[in-house]
Amino acid sequence: MLPYIPIPFWPHNIPTFGLMLWLAAVVGAVVMDRNYRRAKLSADAVGIVAITVVAGIVGAKLWHVLDTPSEFHEQGWQVLWDTGGFAWFGGLVAGISALVIQGVMARIGGLRALDLAAPAAAFGYGIGRIGCFLSGDGCYGKETNLPWGMSFPKGIQPIYDRVHPTPLYELGGALLIGAWLWFRGGKSRPTGSILGEYLMLTGLARFSVEFLRRNPHVLWGLSNAQLASMGSVVVGAGLLLWTSTRRSESVDESSMAVEKPA
């Protein structure tokens, strides 16, 4: 448990959540750049990731504030700068919106841009969860007697009972999803199919882990995150059904318009 890293001869400590968020952005940029290179696209993948990360952070924070208005009433505008409290669904919506806009502007196409970003998004999300784990920001699971149950007495939001380390569960799931999408994206597939798989897999993963988390239930015995996950799965399934009727687009053909001249 290490919410902050002290720096010798420096008056400020480094928050581990912010550090992992930065690392997630770097890894996402590397994966995205490799995917663009594999697809023979000349667009600035690193710049696209940078803008998407900022949009995702803002969206995740705003969604959390809207989802938990009690925190805003207690803390006021300070809640916007708190290192804890980021909603997965808000980050997903804002990040997707940013990618679509940039994909259109780069003449790649919004749907194609989302396909290319899917593996990077999965890996980045997993690494971001390491920050939640190290900082102890409250993303805990329910109490458990299992051998790997953990307490977080020095977390930003301390808890002294042994609970499921759900951020680690999400890390493992995200890495598996990212590896699967990277493998699938290396072959000719209809545009939108990788995004469909990403939405389905991440939605199912989040829906499942929510049964072990301590989030309140709001409807049908489900949490807000589970309801959002159901929406993600439905949209992903719809995309896969739609793409199943379309011709597979080769990587080389899809990149002709933006490939660098020889």
Boundaries of every domain in the chain: 12-258
Cα–Cα distances (Å) from 260 to 38, 41, 97, 115, in that order, read: 13, 8, 26, 21
Give the model's pLDDT for residue 89. 65
Confidence at residue 85, expressed as pLDDT on a 0 to 100 scale? 55
pTM of the model: 0.78
State pLDDT tens for residues 170-209: 999 999 999 999 999 888 888 889 999 999 999 999 999 9
**Measured at the alpha carbon of residue 23, what is the angle toward residues 19 and 29, in degrees to the nearest 5?**
145
What distance, in Å, lies between the first and last C-alpha atoms of the chain?
52
d(CA 230, CA 235) in angstroms, rounded, equals: 9
pLDDT at 152: 85
Contacts of 245 (CB under 8 A, 6+ apart): none
What's the token pair of residue 63? 């969604």
Task: Identify the pLDDT of residue 82.
Answer: 57
- How do residues 68-106 score in pLDDT, each as one tens digit? 666 555 655 555 555 555 566 677 788 888 888 988 888
Distance between CA atoms of residues 161 and 75, nearest Å: 26
Tens digits of residue pLDDT in 136-168? 877 888 899 899 888 888 887 888 889 999 999
Instruction: Compute the residue count for the chain.
Output: 262
Q: What is the average per-residue pLDDT within 245-254?
A: 55
pLDDT at position 260 over 60: no
Rounded CA separation 256/108 (Å): 10
